[in-house]
Chains A and B, each alone.
Chain A
Amino acid sequence: MRNTNGGNPLVHIDGLATEIEGREILKDLTLSVFPGEIHAIMGPNGSGKSTFAKVLAGHPSYEVTKGGITFSGIDVLDLSPEERAREGIFMGFQYPVEIPGVTNSSFLRLAFNTAQSARGEDELDPIEFDDYLQDKLKMLEISSDFLDRSVNGGFSGGEKKRNEILQMAVLEPKLAILDETDSGLDIDALRVVSQGVNKLANNDNAIILITHYQRLLNYIKPDFVHVMHEGNIVKTGNEKLAQELEEKGYDWILDET
């Protein structure tokens, strides 16, 4: 059984409101996530799920107009995305970006070594890093050919998503926000990626899964399921809520609120 509710929250989001280009997207959003927990966030298209993920990761285009984010007890609003990453926040992108000219292995190593030196630990050379990667590649059933290709360059949708989880596996964050990592995965890939995420989850870290499909939650068991609507969490429940949503859609909740 996973430890839920021990001590202080890993991340506490308090009455958060954000704007982009003068438009308010998140409105008074409050959420606490404790070490060892898995939260799922569902909600209609355009309800603000990706915005929430990007704001947690520190996207500079979104302006926080109200509220705050405390992570491991520190206020992260003034931290840059790279500083937040080094504190242990990781975001898996709904649409991972292609970066030409850098091989996936150099990129992973650069990210890993940057984190290592931030932790005051030794950097790995390419050969050591290659060893470190092997287990993670196996776990996610990623062929090592992918390491020699440029980051996400010409990867299929599903391959990009796998690559996101590979990055998570390499960086071992304290908080991972996975934005629709399951979208675009075939049935086998969904199983492999989910097993990977389950292996990475432990009592000290936490995961926020953003998804449209209850199916993912058959593989990764959430402690909480939240429904987001118009930039706020309008309902919180457990796994059963996801099943209910699968059957009935969102209307009944939106009517309720």
Chain B
Amino acid sequence: MHKEFFQGLSNDNTLEFSQTEWLKLIREEANQRVIDLPVPSAKDEQWRFTDLKKIYQKQFRSAGKHTLNYKDVEKSILLESGYQLVFVDGLFSKQFSRLPEPNSGVFLGGLQSALVNHPEEIQATLISTNNEKNNFFASLNTSYLRDVAVLHLAPDTSLEKPIHLLNISTGENTCVNPRVFFKIGAGSSVKVLEEYVSIGGKESLTNIVSDIYLGQSAKFSHYRVQREDVSSFNIAHSSVDLQKNSNYQFCTISTGASISRQDVEVVQSGEGTTCGFEGLAFLQGRQVCDLHSKIIHGKPQGTSKQVYKTIIGDRAKAVFNGQIFVSSEGHLSSAAQSNKNLLLTKNGRVDTKPQLEIYADDVKCAHGATVGQLNDDEMFYLQTRGIPKDVARKILIYGFAAEVIENLGLESLIVSLRNEILKLTGSPVSL
């Protein structure tokens, strides 16, 4: 059965929106699906390499309303952010958020105010994803939905400073179901750091569903950083819809969680869209990190470029499944995919698989995957400069990650990730 793990969850009916009819309805429907649908297992092609037994063996509970001190949150604040949207255990925290003025063309907030400001769009999104995602974990998310992180950017609105969406997990053995909805209006541009951290949270399950929509010629740089406690579980589904000439730059970084799984589906539903997709996972102990990407070139002249790197130490495991689908309308598309894995130990594991389906002519498509160890000549070079072997090793590990990290474009995020990776390698050096 494997379904005991969420039996302890309860729906919080004190939430203000709980009486909203359509929401009640979709939650009930989702709840029914959670009961009916089988949980993912190794028998499913999409889950072959990632065993969720550790999740199914647990008994999660719903998170309460936790209060944090500013001191706890402070160290997770992104220095250069303009606005900040903070959720604690899945609930919008007014206390820690810094939001735009009303009617400024930028709406940022939780579900309650989104229902007032953008009711139709919220309703349409929650209903359509719900129908599309006949998927156990997405249904679980809707069923136990507490709140939604909403960014709505009116057309032709550009924000210089990045927005920080910070999701904090504080509980032990809790299951939190964050929901994200970003709508970037035509001609608008913005950067968002969507981050998952634990402050006290342990052995918790974070089960995310995101819906992202880019209007015509919109530009969106989206950084997702998952650095939850290594005892946690993090599951995420996102779907991204790209309208004509829009440009989506996604970068996903994972260092946390015992098991993390991301399914990211990008649909190029207008002509001439651009999708950059970068990623980095740093895994130790027995961590498992699984990324399933799917890029659908559904209209002509779309480009996509993926660079996904993993560093695997101890007995950790990285899984990558990169699907590129070019529909019959996707002529003159260009898709490139590269997956590079750095194995630090004999006991680490990598399962990598490209999956290409091309139904159009004049398509450029390149893909490659490598699994390698640290390079002896690079080690030797550093050692001949007097640098001890263990430090040389750390420098080279960071060097592998640097291609992704140094490109991030958010200076304080670069610094914090650089320090985090050096710390994970136990390095005494600062670079």
Chain A-chain B contacts (Cβ-Cβ < 8 Å), number: 84
Judge whether A171 and B431 touch: CB under 8 Å.
Answer: no
Asked if B383 contacts A97 (CB within 8 A), the reply is no
B381 lies within 8 A of A97 (CB): yes
Residues of B within 8 A of A110 (CB): 387, 391, 429
A111 interface residue (CB < 8 Å to B): yes
Separation of A93 and B384 alpha carbons in the complex (Å)? 10
- B43 CB–A CB distance under 8 Å: no
At the interface with chain A, which of B110-118, B281-289, B328-336, B372-380? B372-380
Q: Is the CB of B402 within 8 A of A86?
A: no
Per-residue CB proximity of A38-79 to B under 8 Å, as 1/0? 000000000000000010011111000000000000000000
Interface hit among B90-98, B158-166, B186-194, B393-401: B393-401
Whether A101 contacts B402 in the complex (CB less than 8 A), given A60-B380, A96-B381, comes out as yes
B383 contact from A82, A103, A150, Cβ within 8 A:
A82
Smallest beta-carbon distance A210→chain B, Å? 15
Flag if A103 contacts B387 (CB, 8 Å).
no
CB nearest to A115 among chain B residues: B386
Interface bracket on A: 20 to 34
Report yes or no: B385 in contact with A111, Cβ–Cβ below 8 A: yes
A9 to B174, CA, bound (A): 71
Assembled-state Cα–Cα distance A110/B395 (Å): 11
Q: Of all chain A residues, which has the CB nearest B421?
A: A101
**Chain A residue at minimal CB-CB distance from B378:** A97
Pick from A61, A81, A150: contact of B384, CB under 8 Å: A81
Contacts of B431 in A (CB 8 A): 101-103, 106
Q: In the complex, are the beta carbons of A82 and B381 less than 8 A apart? A: no
Which residues in window 334-387 of B have CB below 8 A to A? 376-378, 380-387
Contact at A80–B377, with CB atoms within 8 Å? no
CB B115 to nearest CB in A, in angstroms, measures 45
Contact A85 B385, CB 8 Å, known A61-B376, A97-B377, A102-B431:
yes
Q: Does A34 interact with chain B (Cβ within 8 Å)?
A: no
A254 contacts partner chain B, Cβ-Cβ < 8 Å: no
B317: min CB distance to chain A, Å:
24
Q: Which of B377, B386, B398, B399 contacts A82 (CB 8 A)?
A: B386
A18 at the interface (CB under 8 A from B): no
**B interface residues (Cβ-Cβ under 8 A, vs A):** 376-378, 380-389, 391-392, 395-396, 398-403, 405-406, 429-431
